Amino acid sequence: MKIGIIGSGNMGRALGVRLAAVGHDVMFGARRPEQSQAAVERVSGGAQAGSNDEAAAFGEVLVWTMREPDPAAVLANPALLDGKVVIEINNRDYANEARAGVWFEKAIAERLQDNAPAARVVKAFNTIAMESFDTTPEALRESSAQTFVAGGDGDAKAAVAKLAGDLGFQAVDVGSGPAAFRGVEALGDVIRIIMIDAGRGGRAHLSLNTLPEPNLQSVGAREASTYR
C-alpha cells in the first residue's frame, strides 16, 4: 500500500521505516528536506523523500504526526487529504496542558476531522512509544501488543487494523465519534504518565484483556444503577 508520512520526526520515521520493512511503499514528507532524506536512509528496500504536500499526494494512507490539527497550517494544498485514510497518532502536550489545567474540549483527531471533513481520520498508534517499533512484528505478536483505533469510517479503520497487523499489533476498535477519539487520546495520557511520571519507561504498553466469565455467586449480579 502507498503510505505518505506527514512529518518525519521520531514517530513518522519509526512508523515509516517499519511499514517499508514489511513491504509498503513509503514516502516520507517533512518541512525540512534533510529530515525526510534521513528517514529514507534507514530503509534498506528503498523509500522516497519529499515535502509534506508530496507525501500527502503520494499516499493512499497518510500518517499525521504533528499535533497541529489544521491541515492548512501544514500543507499548501489541504485538499490533498480528501478521501484519504489519515492516521492521526498524536498525543496532546499533557505536560503543558493537563498539568497546567488547560484541556482542549475536542481531541486532536476530532479537530483534524472537523478541519478536513472529506478525510477519513483514524486515531491509532498514540499509545505506543516509538522505541517499540524497533521490536519485530513476530515479537510484538508474541507479546500480544495492541493498538487502540477510533474513527467514523469502518473501511478506513479496517485498513489501519491491517497495517497495524503487518507491524505486529492487534487493533482494538474503540468505536467512533467524539467519545472514542477523546478516549483513545486519554489512553495516550495514561500510558505516558505510567512511562514517564511513574517511571515504567518506554517499554510499558497498554492492552485490553478479557477476564473469564464470572458466575457472580460471591458478589451478586449487577443491579439497576444511577450510574453508567
Residues that bind ligand NAP (CB under 6 A): 7-12, 30-32, 35, 65-68, 73-74, 89-91, 126, 128-130
The CA-to-CA distance between both ends of the chain, in Å, stands at 41
Q: Is the dihedral of CA 12, 16, 19, 21 positive or negative?
A: negative
d(CA 33, CA 16): 16
Q: Which is nearer to ligand NAP, 109 or 161 (CB)?
A: 109
Cβ atoms 209, 200 nearer than 8 A: no
Cβ atoms 108, 69 nearer than 8 A: yes
Nearest approach, Cβ of 193 to ligand NAP (angstroms)? 13
161-187 core/surface letters (b: 16 or more CB in 10 A; e: else)? bebbebbbbebbebeeeeebbbbbbeb
* Grid cell for residue 23: 513491504
d(CA 93, CA 73): 18
Nearest approach, Cβ of 198 to ligand NAP (angstroms)? 16
Residue nearest ligand NAP, CB atom distance: 9
Residue count of the chain, please give it.
228
Nearest approach, Cβ of 215 to ligand NAP (angstroms)? 40
CA gyration radius for the chain? 18
Nearest approach, Cβ of 159 to ligand NAP (angstroms)? 20
Residue in 103, 114, 128 with CA at minimum distance from that of residue 190? 128
Q: Which is nearer to ligand NAP, 89 or 171 (CB)?
A: 89
Nearest approach, Cβ of 86 to ligand NAP (angstroms)? 14
Beta bridge pairs of residue 2: 25
Q: Which is nearer to ligand NAP, 154 or 203 (CB)?
A: 203
Q: Which is nearer to ligand NAP, 89 or 109 (CB)?
A: 89
Q: Which is nearer to ligand NAP, 67 or 106 (CB)?
A: 67
Nearest approach, Cβ of 26 to ligand NAP (angstroms)? 15
Q: Which is nearer to ligand NAP, 89 or 159 (CB)?
A: 89
Nearest approach, Cβ of 216 to ligand NAP (angstroms)? 38
Q: Which is nearer to ligand NAP, 78 or 155 (CB)?
A: 78
